[in-house]
Structure 1
């Protein structure tokens, strides 16, 4: 499950990178980067929970 969230984080980070036009301070780029950060955060929490369980 953690790998899925890390992959989603990578996907949204890539989409944020490709959505940059003149500056990174537009709503689309910031929203995509925020979703990517949440994906990485959830993936990290799942990975930490899995390692703590074992």
Structure 2
């Protein structure tokens, strides 16, 4: 069974929020270090992927509706 791009996009956005939360907590506890930068980088990738997947979902939906 294939997942829809919308579902994948939401999962990526949730992971981005989770990584952002962990990065904020890490800055509060230990300051800016390598691990914090890695968490911010992962959050950025997840937010970008999530937004791209959601946009793909709506493009596919629009193309299907235009064919009808």
Using the size of structure 1 for normalisation, the TM-score is 0.90
Q: Which residues of structure 2 form unaligned runs of 5+? A: 1-7, 62-68
Could you say which structure has the higher helix fraction? 2
Give me the CA root mean square deviation.
Answer: 1.1
Q: Which residues of structure 1 form unaligned runs of 5+? A: none
Q: Which has the larger radius of gyration?
A: 2
Using the size of structure 2 for normalisation, the TM-score is 0.72
| Alignment match, 1:11 | 18
How many residues align? The count is: 53
